[in-house]
């Protein structure tokens, strides 16, 4: 056999194997690059969906809180109005009773004094015991 020819053949085979290995490495690197890019895209999509859900939840919670605050303010205003009406009604009744008492005293002064004395005497007896 011819040794220099074998060396040339071996060198050519080694060169071909090196080129083939380099191509395989490049192909694998490209697949890793694509897989990494796809993983990044999926992660980005998942994060965006999660952020959308959080944002939607915050909007819903904010809307509910605002609605609750509005309802509470409306109820407070309603209670305030009812309280004012009750107060006004009590003041009107008291003024009516005072007017009735004044009229009675003007129309029947002697009986009013007798009634006042009797009420005072009765109150004194009750408080003394």
Dump pLDDT digits (tens) for 70-87.
Answer: 999 999 999 999 999 999
Global pTM reads 0.45
Count the residues in the chain.
Answer: 129
- Is 129 strand, coil or helix? coil
Confidence (pLDDT) at 12:
63
Enter the tokens of residue 88: 């006004």
Place of tokens 């809307």: 63
Please report, in angstroms and rounded to a whole number, the separation of the first and last CA atoms in the chain. Answer: 146
Structure tokens at 53: 């859900």
Let me know: does 44 contact 38? Beta carbons within 8 Å: no
């Amino acid at each position: 056999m011819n040794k220099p020819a074998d060396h040339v053949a071996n060198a050519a085979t080694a060169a071909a194997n090196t080129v083939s290995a380099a191509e395989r490495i490049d192909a694998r690197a490209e697949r890793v690059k694509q897989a990494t890019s796809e993983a990044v895209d999926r992660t980005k999509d998942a994060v965006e969906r999660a952020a959308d859900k959080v944002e939607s939840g915050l909007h819903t919670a904010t809307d509910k809180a605002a609605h609750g605050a509005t309802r509470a303010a409306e109820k407070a205003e309603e209670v305030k109005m009812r309280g004012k009406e009750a107060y006004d009604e009590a003041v009107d009744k008291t003024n009516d009773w005072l007017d009735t008492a004044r009229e009675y005293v003007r129309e029947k002064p002697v009986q009013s004094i007798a009634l006042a004395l009797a009420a005072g005497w009765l109150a004194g007896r009750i408080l003394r015991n």
